[in-house]
Amino acid sequence: MSESEFGSAHEIERLRRAFALPLDDSLPDGAEPELDAERIYRAAAGELPVEERHEIVDRIARDPHAAEAWRLAVELQGALAERARETGPGAAVLPFAAPAAKVLPRRGLARVWGALAAVLAVALGIGVWNRMHPEASTMRGGETLLAAQVADGARLARSDFRLAWAPLADPGVRYTVRVTTADLRRVAEARGLEAPSYRVPASALAGFPAGTRLLWLVEARTGDGRTVASPTSTVELAD
């Protein structure tokens, strides 16, 4: 027997498409508790014990939202495998439900993802952490945070797009400012600043329409090598 004997391609496609339709956008009263998303992901990757995998597959047979989460997991595992193939061969960690994947190399990924983590940390993390822990707006793990002196959400003219922050009392301090789009595409960067402000050149803002939301933060390196950062702030480009 081959899979072609299961039915016509057209019929199978219709069945699959119908199965993928959510029955409703809200859960009905008395619905089963939601499955933990991580369990779904790990089941789709074949990482859970077989009985647990069976239990989760049984759930997706009757729960369209669990089925959707499973498909998202498979999609992301396929994307992860695809990225790994681009990076090159190496050690294997195989999410075996992702049909395109055979090998997930480690070489290069650790460096890439370590750096990615750093970008996330700088561009998102501090701001997110700060918003989620407002009591620590000036202290984080005993560490002082730089305070922006431009109001979050402020509208700045492109002709005078000046970012400023409270200076550190350290004669050897140098500042690095980074400005990105909301999805972390680079807009401008200035390193080694001595003054606690930076004006983004109008040329770097050319092409962004008025109303564009930009993220910025500043990091300070003190004379004794410590690094201190500001929360990520949002500013809006005005004309």
Partner 1 sequence: MPDLSSRGSPALEEPFAGEPDFARLRNDLVKAVAKICPGWLADRRDDLVQAALMKVWDISRRREGILELSSSYLYRVAHSALVDEIRARRRRHEVNLDDSENERATPTTAPDPNATAAAAEIGRGIRECLGGLVRDRRLAVALYLQGHGVPDSSRLLDWPAKRTENLVYRGLADLRRCLAGKGLEP
Minimum gap (Å) between residue 128 Cβ and partner 1: 5
Residue 4 vs 224, nearer CB to partner 1: 4
For residue 36, the minimal CB distance to partner 1 (Å) is 8
Query: Is the separation of the CB atoms in 219 and 175 below 8 Å?
Result: yes
Residue closer to partner 1, measured from CB, 1 or 169: 1
Smallest gap from Cβ 197 to partner 1, in A, equals 12
Q: How far is the C-alpha of 58 from the C-alpha of 76, rounded, in Å?
A: 21
Structural contact between residues 198 and 227, judged by C-beta atoms closer than 8 angstroms: no
- Taking the complex as a whole, how short is the minimal distance between the CB of residue 141 and partner 1, in angstroms? 11
Which one, 57 or 238, has the nearer CB to partner 1? 57
Q: Is 94 helix (H, G, I), strand (E, B) or coil?
A: coil
Alpha helices by DSSP H, 3-158: 9-20, 37-44, 50-62, 64-87, 109-120, 126-132
In angstroms, what is the minimal distance from the CB of 188 to partner 1?
5
| CB distance 52 to 43 below 8 Å | yes
Tell me the C-alpha distance between 174 and 184, whole Å: 23
SS3 16: helix
Q: How far is the CB of 118 from partner 1 (least distance, A)?
A: 7
The separation between CA 122 and the C-alpha centre of its own chain, rounded to angstroms, equals 12
Measured from the CB atom, the residue of 43 and 228 that comes closer to partner 1 is: 43
In the complex with partner 1, the residue whose CB is nearer, 117 or 154, is 117
Q: Which residues of 157-184 are buried (b: 16+ CB within 10 A; e: fewer)?
A: ebeebebebebbeeeebebbbbbbeeee
